Every structure is written in C-alpha cells, then in structure tokens.
Amino acid sequence: MKTGASELQELGRELVTASYLKGDFVLRSGKRSNRYFDKFLFETDPALLRRLGKQLGALVPKETQRLAAPELGAVLLGGAVSMETGLPLVLVRKEPKGYGTSKQIEGRFAAGDRITIIEDVVTTGGDSLRSAQVLRDAGAEVIHLVVVLDRGEGGEENIRGAGIPYSPLFRVQDLELD
C-alpha cells in the first residue's frame, strides 16, 4: 500500500508526463515561458482528474460551505472536488453572460457563504484574484484557494497579499522536470 507521500509523488510524475510541454509559450500573464503545463491534458484524463479531486479535496478547510471554480480551466477540477467532498459548487464566469439570467456566478450561493476557490495552474494569480473579487463583491467570504500547480512566478505572494490563505498541491520546483 502506498503512503500519502509516495502517492502524491506518483501523482506529480503523472501530472508532468500528461501535461508538461517544452517550447515557446505566452502565458495568461503575458509572460513568455519555455515550459507550459497544459491543464486540459490533465483535467480531461478521468483517472488523473479523479485522483486530483481526492488530493485537492483533502486541502479544503473543514469550515468551507461551498466551492468555486473559475471558468473554463478549473470547472472540471471543481466538479471533481465537489464530488469528493460533497460540497456544492459555483462557477465564476470571466464576464457576466449577456443573455438569460446575465449572471457572472452560476449555481446557488448566499451572501456570507465561506468559499474555497479551486484552481488549476497559478502563475501570477491574476485570474484567481479576479474570481475572488467577483465572489467577494457578491457577498461571499473567500476563505481559501487550493491549486493543482503553482508555477513559482509570484502567484502565491500576490494571493496571500490579498489576504487569501493558499494551498498548492504541487509547486513547480518540487516536480521532476526534464
């Protein structure tokens, strides 16, 4: 039987195998990078998604009442963590939709709900902070942010600087990259 640490190490290796790419990439932050983690390659693999949901679920604080996932990248992860923990999930759109209900937050929530945000990959934390602000503006209390991978490029500092406790499952420097 694998211990928690060896299970997490194995998951880290599989994450790298599934989604680590080398080349010339422009990141959401606008920065250029010679390495990229394609979140859709690990989020669309059902076995990896299930295991990530379990590991991320273990990082969600017990006082969490609801999860939130920013569109599009973290929606599958949010669903996996929701199924693992039994906590309801809301989805945070980049912009309010221009039709129907015109909502920016999809799903049920109430002002004062204690919410943990689920994220995929954090570079500078800009998208995570945008989602946190949308939730705060709607009256939610953002109590934590849980992420699969922190690229180590300032995101953790920016998120903590905004007063949000932060738990990355992996930090890029802890992964075995070739």
Give residue-wise pLDDT tens across range 24-60: 999 877 888 899 999 999 999 999 999 999 999 999 9
pTM of the model: 0.93
The two beta strands, 166-171 and 141-150, are parallel
Residue 2 scores a pLDDT above 90:
no
**Across the beta sheet with 105-106, what order do the strands follow?**
105-106, 89-92, 66-70, 114-122, 141-150, 166-171
Q: What is the pLDDT of residue 3?
A: 64
Structural domain count, the chain: 1
5 versus 47: the higher-pLDDT residue is 47
Domain extent, residue 53, equals 4-174
Give me the CATH number covering residue 148. 3.40.50.2020
Q: Chain-wide mean pLDDT for the chain?
A: 93
Q: Which residues of 26-41 are buried (b: 16+ CB within 10 A; e: fewer)?
A: eeebeeebeebbebee
What's the pLDDT tens digit per position in 86-109? 999 999 998 887 888 789 999 999
What integer pLDDT is reported at residue 75 of this predicted model?
A: 96
What SS3 class is residue 45? coil
pLDDT of the residue at 23: 94
